[in-house]
Amino acid sequence: MELNTTEIMTYLPHRFPFLLVDRIAAFEKGVKIVGVKNVTINEPFFQGHFPGHPIMPGVLILEAMAQVGGVYAHLAGEVEEGKVPYFVGIDQARFRKPVLPGDVLRLELNLASLKRGIYTFAGKAFVGDKLVAEAELKATFAATEGKS
């Protein structure tokens, strides 16, 4: 299964400049999901991180992973309508190599567990065959304010 950006936006509330997933390249319920982020010099964060030496902030790599995890839960049919993803934990985060303009970031998440509405993913981010970041991500879904 593949999804483009427009299709991804039907599952996530994120929009420019905070939608950090361009494509879903693979999905296997109960197992994994793979997303892609094309990193361009036009990203708004490069203006300040860092002038003359642009590097994608590690926290945004983690956010991109989390967004891919949010798409996973929707595709798996496990999210009630009107609920949005919330981070509840990040463990074992490691940043191995810088992510630069022009890189294609491949975000691979394996479902480690789903207990009491908490998703735990083992996430890895690659540029080509090089591991650039990894983390254990935990998320849940909740109604937006004013909705139950």
- List the structure tokens of 113: 């567990």
Give the Cα-Cα-Cα angle 126, 128, 129 (nearest 5 degrees). 75
The verdict on whether 74 is a catalytic residue reads: no
Q: Are 77 and 24 in contact (CB under 8 A)?
A: no
Cα 50 to Cα 106: distance, rounded to the nearest angstrom: 22
Q: Are 109 and 137 in contact (CB under 8 A)?
A: yes
Cα 98 to Cα 143: distance, rounded to the nearest angstrom: 35
List the catalytic residues.
Answer: 49
